């Protein structure tokens, strides 16, 4: 059966040691370090989440990257979107896995890039004033940045809309002048022989209180990813839990809303994002945020509803973003785990099918105590 959307899964290239993380967090640190030390912090809280079939892989190993791509392709993932860290002036971090994918030609699964243009701090580790890597925007840096990405943009595997390579900007509101950024990058791309770029802004709206960057189209972006937590909460409940978290009483936790996308029509240039789960307490402990009650069945419904929202659009613009392929310390991953096996991947594949496979409301998992 045909799939009704192109599922593009965000991919964290962090699972290998680098000197910077060794210096900041200790020798050999990777995201697995946070993942395995997580513990339950309230009744009904499920931690730790541990990997299944792929194990505790190291992304310097080509066979690990190939196994990921095989699983992704078999379950309807059309492409990985690799987080790309360029801090200005040519400074990069965590670039090795994608550089090796690009240089080797393997795996053959399509890909694109998402520029994670934000300063790294110790916020989620209790040190908000500790700047680890500052995001800067030096004058004239755009040319060097785009030139560095040209080999990727020209690769036959690169995800395109029309003939234009897709580039996601994580924090468009942090750009010194978003309109000038769009104009410069489009001009530079055309000067390099490309037909332009398909630029996508992340317009996060985590708690449904309004988009963080509502002007995406007005400044020239081709589309915006509407990313929010699929949870239910009241305003009073939200502030009670937010204050409690800041006072150290424990993580905020909210029950999943199985039907959150069913009621949310999107403008033609807004693209939906779905997430299997959310729980960043492995990184943040009692300062984290947790979505309770998620399950493969609930995720299947979210995917089906998102696919239905894209049904009337041009085929190449039916982009469904998935957060994420492997964000284990945020609790959002598609990879097999010890609890569910490949059920998250199977839910994605079934939800993408046309006609959309909907899960009856009565089958949604009961949320854990809130």
pLDDT the model gives residue 1: 62
Cβ pair 75, 342 in contact under 8 A: yes
Q: What is the pLDDT of residue 355?
A: 57
Sign of CA dihedral 361, 362, 365, 367: positive
Peptide bond into 320 cis (omega under 30): no
Query: What does the pLDDT read at residue 236?
Result: 73
Asked whether the bond before 344 is cis by omega within 30 degrees of 0, the reply is no
Give residue-wise pLDDT tens across range 127-172: 667 899 999 999 999 999 999 999 999 999 999 999 999 999 999 9
Give the ranges where the chain is alpha helix by DSSP (H).
19-25, 31-36, 62-74, 96-104, 141-153, 178-191, 235-246, 281-284, 296-309, 343-352
Q: Which two tokens mark 151?
A: 């080999």
- What per-residue confidence (pLDDT) applies to 42? 93
Average pLDDT, 10 consecutive residues per value, the chain (370 residues): 92 97 94 96 96 98 98 98 98 98 98 97 68 95 98 98 98 97 98 98 86 92 95 76 71 92 85 97 91 97 96 95 98 97 98 61 37
- How confident is the model at residue 247, as a pLDDT? 67
pLDDT of residue 358: 43
pLDDT value for 126: 55
Q: How far apart (Å, rounded) are the C-alpha atoms in residues 32 and 352?
A: 30
State the pLDDT at residue 368.
37
pLDDT tens track for 221-260: 999 999 999 998 777 777 776 776 666 677 999 999 999 8
- Confidence at residue 249, expressed as pLDDT on a 0 to 100 scale: 73
C-beta of residue 247 within 8 angstroms of C-beta of residue 298: no
Output the pLDDT for position 186.
98
């Amino acid at each position: 059966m045909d799939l009704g959307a192109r599922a593009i899964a965000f991919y964290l290239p962090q699972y290998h040691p680098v000197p910077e993380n060794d210096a900041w967090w200790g020798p050999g640190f990777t995201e697995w370090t946070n993942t395995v030390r997580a513990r339950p912090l309230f009744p009904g809280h499920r931690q730790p989440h541990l990997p299944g079939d792929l194990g505790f892989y190291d992304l310097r190993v080509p066979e690990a990257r190939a196994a990921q791509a095989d699983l992704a392709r078999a379950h309807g993932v059309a492409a990985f979107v690799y987080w790309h860290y360029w801090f200005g002036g040519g400074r990069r971090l965590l670039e090795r896995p994608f550089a090796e994918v690009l240089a080797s030609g393997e795996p053959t699964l399509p890909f694109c890039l998402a520029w994670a243009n934000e300063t790294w701090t110790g916020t989620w580790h209790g040190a908000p004033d500790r700047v680890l890597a500052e995001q800067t925007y030096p004058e004239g840096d755009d040319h060097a940045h785009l030139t560095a990405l040209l080999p990727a943009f020209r690769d036959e595997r690169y995800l395109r809309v029309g003939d234009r390579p897709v580039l996601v900007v994580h924090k468009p509101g942090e750009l010194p002048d978003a309109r000038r950024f769009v104009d410069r990058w489009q001009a530079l791309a055309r000067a390099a022989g490309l037909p332009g770029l398909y630029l996508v802004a992340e317009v996060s709206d985590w708690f449904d209180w309004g988009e963080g960057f509502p002007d995406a189209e007005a400044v020239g972006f081709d589309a915006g990813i509407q990313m929010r937590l699929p949870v239910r909460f009241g305003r009073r409940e939200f502030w009670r839990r937010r204050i409690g978290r800041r006072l150290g009483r424990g993580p905020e936790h909210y029950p999943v809303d199985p039907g959150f996308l069913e009621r949310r029509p999107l403008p033609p240039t807004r693209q939906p994002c779905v997430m299997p789960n959310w729980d960043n307490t492995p990184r943040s402990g009692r300062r984290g945020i947790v979505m309770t009650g998620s399950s493969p069945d609930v995720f299947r419904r979210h995917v089906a509803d998102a696919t239905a929202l894209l049904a009337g659009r041009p085929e190449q613009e039916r982009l469904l973003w998935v957060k994420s392929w492997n964000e284990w310390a945020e609790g959002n991953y598609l990879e097999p785990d010890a609890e569910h096996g490949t059920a998250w991947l199977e839910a994605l594949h079934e939800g993408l099918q046309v006609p959309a496979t909907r899960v009856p409301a009565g089958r949604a998992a009961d949320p854990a105590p809130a």
